[in-house]
Amino acid sequence: MIGMLSTLLSVSFTCAQPSRKVSIACIGASITYGAGLEDREKQSYPAQLQNLLGDHYTVTNYGVNSTTLLRQGDHPYWSTKAYASALASNPDIVFIDLGGNDSKLVNRVNAGALEQDGRDLIQSFRQLPSHPRVILLLPIVSFVTDTMEIWDAAIVKTIIPHLRNVAFDAGCEVLDMHPLLLNQSAYMPDKIHPDAVGALMMAKRLHAFLTQDYDERFDIFKTLKPENLQSFYGYACSEFTMEGHPCKIVQPKRAAKHHPWIWRARFWGHEPQTDIALLERGFHVVYCDVAELFGNAEAVQRWNTFYETLTKNGLFRKVALEGMSRGAVYCYNWAAANPDKVVCVYVDNPVLDLKSWPGSQRTKTERPEWEMFKKDFGLVSDEAALAFQGSPIDKVALIVNGHYPLLHVCGDADRDVPMIENTTPFEQKVKALHGDITVIHKPGFAHHPHSLPDPSPIVDFIMTAWNTYR
């Protein structure tokens, strides 16, 4: 009885105490510091993050102008008082926003040391008594044209790949800030530093990242033992075979609640910005090789087996499908056969009529894939192939009956997979049946490049569809 009373008093006393604020340290250079802002103490992205998070958090700005991640840089962050103060603060969460200044010519000659220095910086915080959560931010875009200064090509081709390797090796979270202001040069008046609006956009992205719903306990690799673990842009990717066929699963750093996933149908790793953005939001990204079966019965059955494996091991019962070019055939033919298993479909310059590609209704010229297509579907002649009725455009009623939203991103000048033979008639049929389809047009764009440099419209579409099931 005395022991129970002691326990109750202890619980009561604990509950009565004010909750401790979560301490966030923002490590970085001039963008973190708030250079160029009229009132940096209110307008820098750490200050605006504080406003968004509210009183349960304390966000401290440890930014120092011109500093580098490189120890051998012209102004290493390692030598600053701010770094020492950040360590002494024993934070709970650390954002590291360094790398932009490392893209200067004077520094990028030493870029080979970035990975070791990055790992060491992360470890210097992880070994603190607070054992903080460390998030590595990839640098935002630079619009400077002087190749000796903060040059975007160097950021994209040199700095970011090194930082992704750091994230993979250290197993730390990584947040790609580069696309955020890619189409927002008006918010970067000096071409390097965001203004107050741009800083708010950065703060909102960090806020959304921190406030996501996670399932900290879920780890699909505990049951599906990872084989041949590789880095997929800083994330752990298991490459394995299922019944002799290559498969891949990329694991997010933290799985979102209910374990959402996106299924890449074809062209693994090509224009991966949507996949990366969804990994940041706790999605898994998966792939099951069905090349070159063009969505036939064997492809559908192979995907059915893969789907059963993944859902039995914890992924959500519905999936977002992603198909570029002929990947759309695989997506839609599987979706038509499995309408209850689909959250949404995103396709990009999609093949929707196999008589348009790999065949050609206009010239009757055949590509090598034309013979594969005929073989896959048991079509003994060109005439039989040109009468084929098993493409997604022939299955619109089945697709619409699935009641999942569809997104097409299309280059209006695509000559390889012309819209007029694919998305245009498909869209008309979907709308005639009151289906939910959105088409994003890219005026003047051909078949390549796929996707969008800033994938936000695609990500927003997928997240909106997913949120109906959360």
Q: 133: domain CATH number?
A: 3.40.50.1110
On whether the CB atoms of residues 267 and 244 are closer than 8 A, the answer is no
Residue 33 and residue 100: Cα distance in Å, rounded? 13
Q: Are residues 345 and 231 in the same domain?
A: yes
- 53 secondary structure, DSSP code: H
Is the residue at 245 inside a domain?
A: yes
| Domain edge (last residue) among 210, 229, 258 | 210
**Arithmetic mean of pLDDT, 79-99:** 98
Residue 7 has pLDDT above 70, yes or no: no
The answer on pLDDT for 16 being more than 50 is no
Q: Which of 169, 190, 210 is the last residue of a domain?
A: 210
**192 and 300 together in one domain:** no
On whether residue 165 sits in a domain, the answer given is: yes
> Does 250 share its domain with 344?
yes
Chain segment 409-423, per-residue pLDDT in tens: 999 999 889 999 999
For range 234-249, the mean pLDDT: 92
β-partners of residue 441 are 410
Is residue 69 situated within a structural domain?
yes
Is residue 323 one of the residues assigned to a domain? yes
Q: Between these two residues, 427 and 11, which has the higher pLDDT value?
A: 427
- Pair 268, 294 in one domain: yes
Asked whether residue 70 falls in the same domain as residue 112, the answer is yes
**Confidence tier at 469 by pLDDT (50, 70, 90):** confident
Q: What is the CATH number of the domain that holds 330?
A: 3.40.50.1820
Q: Mean pLDDT throughout 320-328? A: 95
Same domain, 135 and 182: yes
Number of domains observed in the structure of the chain: 2
Domain ranges, residue 82: 20-210
Lowest mean pLDDT among 56-60, 65-69, 375-379, 436-440: 375-379
Q: Identify whether residues 228 and 200 lie together within a single domain.
A: no
Shared domain for 433 and 311, answered yes or no, is: yes
* Whether residue 247 sits in one domain with residue 106: no
Find how far residue 32's CA is from the centre of its chain.
23
pLDDT at residue 435, rounded to an integer: 97
Same-domain check for residues 27 and 159: yes
pTM, 2 dp: 0.90
| Residue 184 pLDDT | 95
Evaluate whether residue 225 is within a structural domain.
Answer: yes
**Is 360's pLDDT higher than 70?**
no
Final residue belonging to a domain, choices 210, 240, 268? 210
* 347 residue type, one letter: V
pLDDT value, residue 109: 93
Q: Does the pLDDT value for residue 2 go beyond 50?
A: no
pLDDT of residue 176: 97
Q: What tokens does 156 get?
A: 């994209």
Cβ proximity of 89 and 59 under 8 Å: no
Give residue 45's Cα distance to chain centre: 22
Residue 288, pLDDT above cutoff 80:
yes
Establish if 5 belongs to a structural domain: no
- Whether residue 225 is found in the same domain as residue 256: yes
Determine the average pLDDT of the residues in 10-28.
Answer: 68
Residue 242: which pLDDT band, with cuts at 50, 70 and 90? confident
Query: What average pLDDT does this structure show over 216-242?
Result: 92
Q: How much is the pLDDT for 386?
A: 85
pLDDT digits (tens, 9 = 90+) for 101-158: 999 999 999 999 999 999 999 999 999 999 999 999 999 999 999 999 999 999 999 9
2 assigned to some structural domain: no
Do 170 and 34 belong to one domain? yes
Residue-level pLDDT at 228: 85
The four Cα atoms 166, 196, 275, 342 give a dihedral, to 10 degrees, of 150
Quick check: is 4 in a domain? Answer: no
Please tell me which residue, 344 or 228, carries the higher pLDDT value: 344
